[in-house]
Amino acid sequence: MNTKQHYSVLLRESVDALVTDPGGIYVDGTFGRGGHSREILRSLDQGGRLLAFDKDPQAVEEGERLAAEDARFTIIHGSFASFSSVKQSLLELGRDGEGLCGVLLDLGVSSPQLDEAERGFSFLQDGPLDMRMNNSAGQTAADWINSAEEDEIVFVLREYGEERFARRMARAVIKERQLQEFSTTSRFAQVISEANPRWEKGKHPATRAFQAVRIFINRELEDLTLALDEALSTIKSGGRLVVISFHSLEDRIVKRFFREQTRGKQFPAGMPITDDMLDKKMRTLGKAIKASDHELQENIRSRSAVMRVAEKI
Ligand SMILES: C[S@@+](CC[C@H](N)C(=O)[O-])C[C@H]1O[C@@H](n2cnc3c(N)ncnc32)[C@H](O)[C@@H]1O
């Protein structure tokens, strides 16, 4: 595989689960290099429409190329949490009364983001300590690491990296930045690694810290939480929500959301309740799906992928 390309995880499984009506309107919240989007377009007829988001300007450039080739496709530069752009696009298409047939979220970073050292996501390659998916705006990882309070660093490493040695790492970072501000991934990885007494076999000692800072800088969990609510309110009855997560923090949010929507409202025990009163919004379709052995052989990054699917009632 060319590492500048992105291998689309659970491609067939996710598109099959998503597309129920070839003439419907769909959202791909995470365009990346368009693997899922192209497959969705292949499943649609001439009446079908696909709106895609990406925060990353390079992904959006690729999306603009696809939009020039296929009039059924629109790319939006922004967060998938901003569903106001979807509503606006539906209005422009004259299909605002219709509701979406499905929303796909293939979370996390793309292979090009990880593989290009200058994006600053990787502890394996030296580059500027950036980590922004949208590298045209906002605070870089370096800006934050050079100015955050110790407790804030501890919070981020614990909350978004589930890092046991967050306090030691935060202290080491603060000590080092007094000597010289952080500007590169390699120095950050080195300081974190030196402060880490124990880590999982086969992993880099800075894996959790890099994941934590990336999630924080890109507001990944906040965006996901917002997007699930927005998607539910914009999908029509029978429409699907398909989410591919790559770590337990994301999957926990998706699992909890699906559980709440499929269970409906909670009432005190013993109260006589009808199904109507529960006001269930969704039903889950099947269990969580993981990549096949064949896919794992082709792409080791699909190892941690978990796909969940729910349908609006
Ligand atoms: C795993 S990749 C998606 C790959 C894509 N499905 C494909 O087949 O090429 C995730 C992409 O989603 C983008 N992304 C992540 N969170 C986002 C958000 N909240 N809003 C918009 N784009 C986001 C990233 O910039 C990245 O390009």
CA-nearest residue, atom 2 of ligand 1: 110
Instruction: Give pTM, 2 decimals.
Output: 0.95
Superfamily for 134-217?
Answer: Putative methyltransferase TM0872, insert domain (1.10.150.170)
The residue assigned the tokens 């950050």 is: 188
Q: Decide: 122 and 113 in contact? Cβ < 8 Å.
A: no
39 lines ligand 1 (CB under 6 A): no
Cβ count near 272 (within 10 Å): 6
Q: What is the pLDDT of residue 3?
A: 43
Which ligand 1 atom is the nearest neighbour of the CA of 134? 25
Which ligand 1 atom is the nearest neighbour of the CA of 133? 25
Q: What is the pLDDT of residue 272?
A: 86
Residue range 239-250, pLDDT digits in tens: 999 999 999 999
139 CA → ligand 1 middle, Å: 19
Ligand 1 test: best mutation among 10, 53, 110, most atoms within 8 Å of CB? Answer: 110
Which H or E run contains 76?
strand 73-77
CA-nearest residue, atom 13 of ligand 1: 30
Which ligand 1 atom is the nearest neighbour of the CA of 30? 12
Strand-pair partners of 243: 105, 308
Residue 209 CA to residue 214 CA, distance in Å, equals: 9
250 lines ligand 1 (CB under 6 A): no
55 lines ligand 1 (CB under 6 A): yes
307 lines ligand 1 (CB under 6 A): no
Q: Decide: 307 and 288 in contact? Cβ < 8 Å.
A: yes
Selection from 22, 93, 86 nearest residue 53 by Cα: 86
| CATH 1.10.150.170 location in the chain | 134-217
133 CA → ligand 1 middle, Å: 8
| CATH 3.40.50.150 location in the chain | 11-111+220-312
Which ligand 1 atom is the nearest neighbour of the CA of 219? 19
54 lines ligand 1 (CB under 6 A): yes
Q: Per-residue pLDDT tens, the chain, 313 aa: give them.
A: 444 578 999 999 999 999 999 999 999 999 999 999 999 999 999 999 999 999 999 999 999 999 999 999 999 999 999 999 999 999 998 998 899 999 999 999 999 999 999 999 999 999 999 999 999 999 999 999 999 999 999 999 999 999 999 999 999 999 999 999 999 999 999 999 999 999 999 999 999 999 999 999 999 999 999 999 999 999 999 999 999 999 999 999 999 999 999 998 888 888 888 888 888 999 999 999 999 999 999 998 899 999 999 999 9
Q: What is the pLDDT of residue 167?
A: 98
Selection from 158, 133, 155, 129 nearest residue 144 by Cα: 129
Q: In terms of CATH architecture, what is 11-111+220-312?
A: 3-Layer(aba) Sandwich (3.40)
198 CA → ligand 1 middle, Å: 31
Q: What is the pLDDT of residue 2?
A: 43
Q: What is the pLDDT of residue 87?
A: 92
105 CA → ligand 1 middle, Å: 8
